[in-house]
């Protein structure tokens, strides 16, 4: 189960990140580096240091640009030995990312719909679909692009699995342990619910990194995960 839990290093400084990493030593070896850590805590260098130490790193950068820029950016991340990288789930970006990652072990993940968005947000953004419809479209496009997986809310995991078949990763953010606050996420589930729905990897940040005892919080989540039965 520990390989399925990804801890989001959503902190402001490298010292904070390293304190959390040290506290989780022996419990978690997979870490997500997103905008906050990447830009504010020297996250690129931190990620390379983690990789050198034998850890797994998920760079959550949600790349979206012209094809050449995405391809070259992905190639640069792939050269670090990173495990996962996100791009926005637009077909051109996903195809460019596949080219950039060619020959490496980097898993490209397409971001379908952010877990902070609901149907009203999707409509406001101009999509003539509801959330589930847009996720369904992105899943089909991700499969055709040949990327390694998709980021989606656990509510859509079973639907996504039906579309993409076996073999692709389904990474679920917005995970909250039973009884915890959902924060700014609108489509959240517990760790057990996410695995039961078919998610292959769970991303947890605040419920671990913002506690006085990150190791205890991580162990509690791993215990909760072990109580579920994956359907994927």
Q: Which two tokens stand for residue 85?
A: 């990288």
Predicted pLDDT of residue 201 = 96
Predicted pLDDT of residue 181 = 54
Using CA atoms, how far residue 118 sits from 37, 133, 139, in Å, is 26, 12, 17
Using CA atoms, how far residue 17 sits from 12, 13, 50, 59, 229, in Å, is 8, 6, 11, 14, 31
What is the pLDDT averaged over residues 150-176? 92
Q: Is 115 annotated as a binding residue?
A: yes
Q: How confident is the model at residue 178 (pLDDT cuts 50, 70, 90)?
A: low
Q: Is 120 annotated as a binding residue?
A: no
The verdict on whether 186 is a catalytic residue reads no
Mean pLDDT of the chain: 91
Q: Is 107 annotated as a binding residue?
A: no
Least confident of 63-72, 75-84, 127-136: 127-136
Contact 181, 205 (CB under 8 A): no
Contact 186, 118 (CB under 8 A): yes
Q: Examine the pLDDT at 187 and tell me if it is beyond 60.
A: no
High-pLDDT (> 70) share of the chain, %: 92
Q: Which residues, 6+ apart, have CB-to-CB distance to 102 below 8 Å? A: none
Q: Of the listed 55, 62, 72, 186, which one is catalytic? A: 62
Q: Where are the domains of the chain?
A: 2-226
List residues bridging with 189 in a β-sheet.
Answer: 175
| Structure confidence by residue, pLDDT tens digits, 17-39 | 999 999 999 999 999 999 999 99
Contact 169, 148 (CB under 8 A): yes
What is the pLDDT averaged over residues 203-219? 94
Predicted pLDDT of residue 1 = 54
Predicted pLDDT of residue 174 = 81
By three-state DSSP, how is residue 169 classified?
Answer: strand
Predicted pLDDT of residue 116 = 85
- Euclidean distance between CA atoms 168 and 158, whole angstroms: 13
Predicted pLDDT of residue 188 = 65
Q: Is 109 annotated as a binding residue?
A: no
| Structure confidence by residue, pLDDT tens digits, 97-154 | 999 999 999 999 999 988 888 999 999 999 999 999 999 999 999 999 999 999 998 8
Q: Which residues, 6+ apart, have CB-to-CB distance to 49 below 8 Å? A: none
Q: Which residues, 6+ apart, have CB-to-CB distance to 151 below 8 Å? A: 86, 109, 110, 111, 112, 171, 172, 173
- Euclidean distance between CA atoms 39 and 14, whole angstroms: 10
Predicted pLDDT of residue 189 = 82
What is the pLDDT averaged over residues 204-209? 93
Q: Which fold has domain 2-226?
A: TIM Barrel (3.20.20)
């Amino acid at each position: 189960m520990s390989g399925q839990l990804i801890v989001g290093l959503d902190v402001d400084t490298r010292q904070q990140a390293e304190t959390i990493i040290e506290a989780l030593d022996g419990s978690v070896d997979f870490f997500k580096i997103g905008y906050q850590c990447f830009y504010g805590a020297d996250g690129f260098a931190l990620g390379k240091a983690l990789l050198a130490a034998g850890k797994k790193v998920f760079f959550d950068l949600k790349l979206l640009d012209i094809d050449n820029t995405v391809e070259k950016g992905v190639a640069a991340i792939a050269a670090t030995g990173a495990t996962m990288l996100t791009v926005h789930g637009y077909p051109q970006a996903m195809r460019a990312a596949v080219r950039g990652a060619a020959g490496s072990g980097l898993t490209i993940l397409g971001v379908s719909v952010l877990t902070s968005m609901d149907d009203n947000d999707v409509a406001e953004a101009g999509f003539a679909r509801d959330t589930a419809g847009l996720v369904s479209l992105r899943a089909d496009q991700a499969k055709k692009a040949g990327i390694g997986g998709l980021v989606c809310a656990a509510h859509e995991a079973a639907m996504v699995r039906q579309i993409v078949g076996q073999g692709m990763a389904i990474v679920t953010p917005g995970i909250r342990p039973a009884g915890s606050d959902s924060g700014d996420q609108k489509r959240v589930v517990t760790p057990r619910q996410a695995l039961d729905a078919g998610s292959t990897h769970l991303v947890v940040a605040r419920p671990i990194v913002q506690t006085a005892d990150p190791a205890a919080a991580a162990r509690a989540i791993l215990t909760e995960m072990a109580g579920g039965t994956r359907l994927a």
